Structure 1
Amino acid sequence: MREEHELFLTEGPEEFENFQITNEDVPLKEGIAYPFIKAIQMVNNRLQETNPEEKQLFEIILLSTHSAEGGVRIINSVKHYDIPAALMLYHEYRTADEHLKVAFDGDSVLFSDETDVVFREQGLDEVIKYEKDREHVPIGEGPLKKFAMILGEMKKKFSPENDPICTYLVTARSGKDLGKRAIKTLRDWGLQIDEAFFMAGAPKGPLLAQIQPHIFFDDNLHNIRGARAHGIPSALVPSCCN
């Protein structure tokens, strides 16, 4: 992302974000770390060929200090190069301790439980197909959507540098297969989330310990317990899929 990063530095975050959205179907060019990532994938593949049940594998986590709004292009690039990575999108200037920090799970919390129901009844492969078929259809509203929208309205009263509210999406979805529809839904709602973390099923507790939100909403009791084990105030959102 050298060219894109240069645009970010010279023209600012707004022009960069507009450029990313306009070009979201154009894969990013291979970067200097690309051969390293492909070599890691090769080792993982060889290990799994030797033992399909192998658990000691490399985990790839892709970090970007740019907004979740421009994240669709990154997701498309991850899919283009077939990189199975957890994806984390965050603003580098969101660091002050005086922020109000609110973290939301995705499905059954910020979004409706429609994808959770498909997963529970038909499995992961059908979920991936379901999401791909409905990529341009916003996900239904979840029980915490209205609260998130109110926070979003408050945020618009401040400049980005002086915004005292930080909102986070911390979802078990993978960025590669299930991230695009989530980001496009937020865009359709006009809801800007400061930082988005697509955990690809990884535990949320350690990440939340780094974010230190004032409150975390999730519909999964296991995730709630994991967050509380790291001292994070958490609220269980009732769901039919619990």
Structure 2
Amino acid sequence: MPVTLTGQLVVAISSRALFDFEAENEVFEAGDDRAYMALQQQHLDVPAPPGVAFSLVKKLLAFNAGGTPRVEVVVLSRNDPISGMRVFRSARHYGLPIERGVFTRGASPWRYLKPLSAQLFLSTNEADVRQALAAGVAAARVMPLAARASAAHPDELRIAFDGDAVLFSDEAEQVYQRDGLAAFREHERARASQPLPAGPFKPVLEALHRLQQSPDLRIRTALVTARSAPAHERAIRTLMDWQIEVDEAMFLGGLAKGEFLREFEPDFFFDDQVGHVESAAVHVPAGQVTMGIAAT
């Protein structure tokens, strides 16, 4: 029988999102990929430092302890195969059981998401993220200089999500952008009992919710949104309709999200608006979901 990843949460991640290759990337960005490959080859036995999404990946892979395959992490990278050797060696150094990888040497790797059955793609490359989202895969552009995750919760995975254009569609955000705050509030108040359409990250939240049903797994989720009352009700009722629970909900009414996320201490935060992501990245690992009317 062929190997299958069916039933697992499959996360595809670029090498720069998983490990800190910023120094090497400066050589690559200079346009000399041969020098980049040579540099990586010289450092094959030097473990790369952890990157922004390292804590997220480490905790996700820990869910496979005990022999039950629940999460698969695959490196999906524009790196060349030689650099891929360093990625795998670095993963082994840190005890990350990552066995699969696709390395495309500069070509866009998003087309391999479908055969991998990936439900989430994390990359520092904005074009790749946009292509993944257009193909129907939840994806985020990782901020490579974002803060690293807190070590305060070593045995609990913590993930925070924005609402509109992330968990939900950007239907309501379009009203806000077009007609202003008062119209947005009235639009949402009048539709409080009508579930919002799903956004790109609904399947990810569903997968986490399924994992939470296992008593030996500790996951804490948060909805962190610029919504405030009365627009909060539609968001909560939508989650109720989906039969998905979040552990915390923050309705901030436009307040900067960064300091609230600092207190929640997530392993990762997803938002569509670059301003919110930049506010968050000062304090926590963060990525931008480059989709929807407000994502530019």
Q: TM-score range by the shorter chain?
A: 0.5 to 0.7
Percent identity for Structure 1 against Structure 2: 38
- When normalised by structure 2's length, the TM-score is 0.47
Aligned to 2:207, the other structure's residue is in SS state helix
Using the size of structure 1 for normalisation, the TM-score is 0.57
Give the counterpart letter for 2:214 in structure 1: K
**2:211 paired residue among 146, 149, 154:** 154
**How far apart are residue 96 of structure 1 and its match?**
5.0
Write out aligned runs for 1:40-189 (5 A): 97-158=154-215, 163-174=217-228, 176-189=229-242
Aligned-partner Cα distance in 2 for 1:132–1:105: 19
* Residue matched to 1:234: 286
Q: SS at 2:165's partner residue?
A: helix
Tell me which residue corresponds to 1:10: none
Cα RMSD (Å) of the superposition?
1.3
- Give the drift of 1:216: 0.3
1:193 aligns with: 246
Cα deviation for residue 163 of structure 1 reads 4.5
1:97 shift after superposition: 4.2
2:183 maps to a residue whose letter is E
Q: Which runs of 5+ in 1 are unaligned?
A: 1-94
The total of aligned residue pairs comes to 143
AA matched with 1:145: K
Structure 2's unaligned 5+ residue stretches are: 1-151
Return the structure number with greater helix share: 1
> In the alignment, which residue of structure 1 is the partner of 2:148?
none
CA distance, structure 1, for counterparts of residue 188 and residue 217 of structure 2: 33
Taking the aligned partners of 2:281 and 2:292, their CA distance within structure 1 comes to: 22
**Greater than 3 Å deviation, 4+ residue runs:** none
What is the SS of the residue equivalent to 1:102? Answer: strand
Conserved 8 A contact 2:274-2:288: yes
State how far apart, in whole Å, the 2-side matches of 1:166 and 1:178 are: 24
Q: CA deviation at 1:240?
A: 2.8
